[in-house]
Amino acid sequence: MVAMTISTAQAHAPKTASPLPAPAIETHDLAKRYGDTVALAGLTMTVPRGEVFGFLGPNGAGKTTAVKLLLGLARATGGRGQVLGAPIGDLRARRRIGYLPELFRYQSWLRAREVLGAHSELAGLPAEGRSREIEAVLQLVGLTERGSDRVGAFSKGMQQRLGLAVALLGEPEVVFLDEPTSALDPVGRADVRGIIRHLRERGATVFLNSHLLGEVERVCDRVAIVDRGRVIAEGPIDELLGARSLRVRATGLDDGDRSSFARFGPLTVDGDWLTIRPIEPEVVPEVVATIVAAGGRVHAVEPGRATLEDRFLALLQVEESPPTEPKP
């Protein structure tokens, strides 16, 4: 069983005299088996408060299992964990947790405001502030106009928006979003990104389960990639994606001019194309200005970096390739 540490809360903790708040999520060797099938193998991680944490993986990797374990919906077969400093499943901690399930379904015979009202009661929100809270989350997810409609008449996208509103009720400190954009159109996806940024701004921790890597890349501070029940990579997203590069197509330069660009970073020349990798993003304008100053003509400038998808696929390929036999 493989156990990997994803991050440490201490690295992000503020240097104050007050006691450190418990991490948003902390697990040690958390495992789940269904008979002979390993759904999650020894998950050890710490998610600091206030981060947007991406939990990535292909279908069936164990992402939803991890969320269900952290929420106490399923029982771990090994290891332990805490959410907001309380053992998994603690009722008081659940008051401060929001959850949008991957399988988002709400009572079709209720109106959207009634669903939110019921969840406000179940979450133990004070009665006097419930209406205001319900209107606030409806507005946040763009359902104010449809708040009095029966859920049964909602499209899947609208139901997912309602699920998001349910998850946001009561300003939770940790929000678990399991594939939150699976039923949304591009506008809806952009809205969800905005909501996640809003959550980060108010200091909430977001645990984002997704296999939509573009979404994750745009909003997450830190990611873990899980495959077949175990974490295969983790870290801040910038570190995971690796170095940036710059490709420039320039004409009118001689070999001396070209070689001088090596001062910006390791240089590769392929015809009119110059590639510098790695390169700091701030020096790109200087590179272009240098080409122009040398009498060259710039036809194309392509800053680049490996996408999360590239990195993800590469990691999965490594995982799936058979191990090499050691030579005697």
Using CB under 8 A, list all residues that contact another protein. 68, 71-75, 91-92, 94-95, 97, 99-101, 103-107, 109-110, 114, 118-119, 121-124, 163, 166-167, 176
Q: Collapsing DSSP states into helix, strand and coil, what is residue 11?
A: helix
**CB of residue 272 to another protein, shortest distance in Å:** 56
> Cβ closer to another protein: 6 or 67?
67
**CB of residue 104 to another protein, shortest distance in Å:** 7
One-letter identity of residue 276: I
H-type helices in 169-229, by residue range? Answer: 186-201, 213-219
**CB of residue 187 to another protein, shortest distance in Å:** 24
State how beta strands 244-251 and 297-305 pair: antiparallel
**CB of residue 167 to another protein, shortest distance in Å:** 8
Q: Collapsing DSSP states into helix, strand and coil, what is residue 17?
A: coil
Cβ-Cβ contacts under 8 Å for 27 (sequence gap 6 or more): 43, 44, 45, 46, 70, 79, 80, 81, 82
Cα separation, 278 vs 264, whole angstroms: 9
Q: Are 24 and 174 in contact (CB under 8 A)?
A: yes
> Cβ closer to another protein: 160 or 181?
160
> Cβ closer to another protein: 6 or 70?
70
**CB of residue 230 to another protein, shortest distance in Å:** 20
Cα separation, 216 vs 308, whole angstroms: 8
> Cβ closer to another protein: 124 or 285?
124
> Cβ closer to another protein: 91 or 293?
91
> Cβ closer to another protein: 89 or 235?
89
> Cβ closer to another protein: 93 or 279?
93
Cα separation, 95 vs 173, whole angstroms: 9
**CB of residue 135 to another protein, shortest distance in Å:** 20
Environment class of 3 (CB within 10 Å of its CB; exposed 0-12, middle 13-18, buried 19+): middle
What DSSP assignment string belongs to 81-112? EEETTEETT-HHHHTTEEEE-SS----TTSBH
| Phi and psi angles of residue 247, each rounded to the nearest 5 degrees, phi first | -115, 130
**CB of residue 299 to another protein, shortest distance in Å:** 54
Structure tokens at 300: 């194309």
Cα separation, 66 vs 228, whole angstroms: 12
> Cβ closer to another protein: 70 or 224?
70
**CB of residue 57 to another protein, shortest distance in Å:** 19
303: left (phi over 0), alpha (psi -120 to 50) or beta: beta
